[in-house]
Amino acid sequence: MKKLAVGLSGSPSRWARSVVVTGATALTVATVLAAPAVAHDGVVESNPAVNSTVNEIPRKISLTFSGVPQDGFNSIALTKDGKVITREKPHQDGKTLSIEVPEQKDAEPGEYTIGYQITSSDGHATRGAVKFNLAGDSQGTANEGSSNGSTEGADSGKSSSQGEDPLQGLGWLLPVAGIVVIGGALVMAIARWRNLKDD
């Protein structure tokens, strides 16, 4: 009986230590899992702007990211209806990647896609796309001397969501889910500890 009493009296202490260790471990794992999803770089500015309508395809296409892409397997392609017009390894200036577009004298009006694949600042491969439209009275590709690639409104558009990985905006769910799991584990552990203490 004495040994049994000692065992039960020591249980709450062991359970308390178990709760602390379990919580710390779960929090660490949740943080590690959440980091890659949150850290992927996304497009925050582009020329032409996302979903904009231009009269001419600019001779220079640029994408500015939320982080500085690593130098490596980066590429940007301009396509229309699945047909590649040009694909190049981009020139990098900090967070901005750009390519030169060959002159397009007979460019067809319609929707164009700027696709990209980069190595994000966190080291993970990231791909996405930005779309724009060429007006019906288009004049092909803008001349070298044109001021800003002749996008309507002249300025490159800014958007935190354009061209991002579809799952990128959901990265915040991982740490939240981790907190929920940790909270549930702690509640269950404390409840069991109290039951042992009451016994």
pLDDT at 140: 60
Residue 32 is which amino acid?
V
pLDDT in tens, 106-139: 899 999 999 999 999 999 999 999 999 999 865 5
pTM of whole model > 0.75?
no
CB burial of 122-133 (b: ≥16 within 10 Å; e: otherwise) equals eeeebebebbbb
pLDDT at 182: 72
Please name which of 120, 123, 124, 125 lies closest in space to residue 97, comparing C-alpha atoms.
120
Contacts of 86 (CB under 8 A, 6+ apart): 77, 78, 99, 101, 102
Structural domains for the chain: 43-134 (2.60.40.1220)
Dihedral pair phi/psi, residue 24, rounded to 5°: -65, -40
* Residues forming a β-bridge with 125: 119
In whole angstroms, give the CA distance from residue 125 to residue 112. 23
Q: How many helices (H) and strands (E) does the chain have?
A: 2, 10
Give me 167's structure tokens. 């799952």
Nearest to 127 by CA among 42, 68, 14: 42
pLDDT of residue 15: 53
Cα–Cα dist 102/91, whole Å:
15
Q: Side chain identity at 91, as an amino acid letter?
A: H
Tens of each residue's pLDDT in the chain, 199 residues: 544 444 444 555 565 565 555 555 555 555 555 444 455 789 999 999 999 999 999 999 999 999 999 988 899 999 999 999 999 999 999 999 999 999 987 899 999 999 999 999 999 999 999 999 999 865 566 554 443 443 343 344 444 344 444 444 445 555 656 676 676 777 677 777 677 666 5
Residue 133 neighbours by CB under 8 Å, 6+ apart: 51, 52, 53, 54, 109, 110, 111, 112
